[in-house]
Amino acid sequence: MTVGRLVLAATPMGAVDDASQRLRAALSTVDIVAAEDTRRVRSLAKALDVQITGRVVSFYDHVEVARIPGLVDAIAAGSTVLLVTDAGMPSVSDPGYRMVAACVARDLPVTCLPGPSAVTTALALSGLPVERFCFDGFPPRKSGPRREWLHTLVAEQRACVFFEAPHRLADCLSDAVAVLGPDRRAAVCRELTKTYEEVIRGTLAELAAWAVDGARGEITVVVAGAQPTSADPAALVDAVEALTADGMRLKDACAEIAAAHAVSRRELYGAVLAARRS
């Protein structure tokens, strides 16, 4: 029996001309197109002057798990399945990775048609050192969990890229100023590859002030990594204790001092507790 394969394909984020020739060919020849939005993939095919000859099925978050067994069986029976999302690369904060894992578990071929990605595009445009970076998807929606997440970046020396909803951007950047400090550099990339593409670069404080007036469109944020530091958490214990003496909670004091000196909040907290026990 001939075994088919799963093909992950990146789709344009805005400019239709970013579609690769391999994507055009795949849309017109595969047996099944699994699309996050069936209307969008049909519109894309029309814009590319390509006729989809295979079956088109929906493959979005709420139906992903239910769709996988049938699609995997189809691949095992010899079909080629093309997986596309609304824009960019499948499985990068979009449906896809479960499908890949299911195919891998069945030892079925998986390949990828490379192309547009908001992550790498934003990194390239940021103007920041991005030789090493981490990707964190979408931050938590509420301020408390979001600040907890931001605390993990205090001593992170890699650049961090993440997505954010436009209506939450101002609050997210305000929290970033509080946790990472006002001077950490960053870039907000809006509507990448589209007509109104915009990249705003500056300090977190500057970007937070800009975002107060509101932002529209698809947002990707790049935050510079922490500068290497030789600060010893033990040497910062007195600074923490000075804040707690003024009434600040130990947890908050550690967070503030750790952000100011780009050290791990957890290590600083441990150093304070160790000093108190000695």
Residue 176 is predicted with a pLDDT of 97
| 127 neighbors 201 (Cβ within 8 angstroms) | yes
Residue 262 is predicted with a pLDDT of 72
**Separation of first and last alpha carbons in the chain:** 71
Where does the pLDDT of residue 155 fall: very low under 50, low under 70, confident under 90, or very high at 90 and above? confident
- Going 110 to 111 to 116 to 117, the CA torsion angle's sign is positive
Residue 228 is predicted with a pLDDT of 74
pLDDT at residue 141 is higher than 70: yes
Equal fold, 5-116 vs 119-223: no
Q: In what order do the strands lie in the sheet with 159-164?
A: 133-135, 159-164, 219-223, 185-190, 198-203
CA 272: distance to chain centroid? 34
Q: Which overall architecture, per CATH, does domain 119-223 show?
A: 2-Layer Sandwich (3.30)
**pLDDT tens-place string over residues 50-76:** 999 999 999 999 999 999 999 999 999
Q: Would you say the pTM of this structure is higher than 0.75? A: yes
The CATH class of 5-116 is alpha beta
**pLDDT tens-place string over residues 225-277:** 998 766 788 889 998 998 999 899 999 999 888 877 778 888 999 999 999 99
pLDDT at residue 134 is higher than 90: yes
**pLDDT tens-place string over residues 86-127:** 999 998 888 899 999 999 999 999 999 999 999 999 999 999
Residue 227 is predicted with a pLDDT of 82
Mean pLDDT of the chain: 94
Rounded to whole angstroms, how far apart are CA atoms 95 and 108?
A: 19
pLDDT at residue 1 is higher than 60: no
Residue spans per domain, the chain: 5-116, 119-223, 233-277
* Phi, psi torsion values for 185, nearest 5 degrees: -85, 150
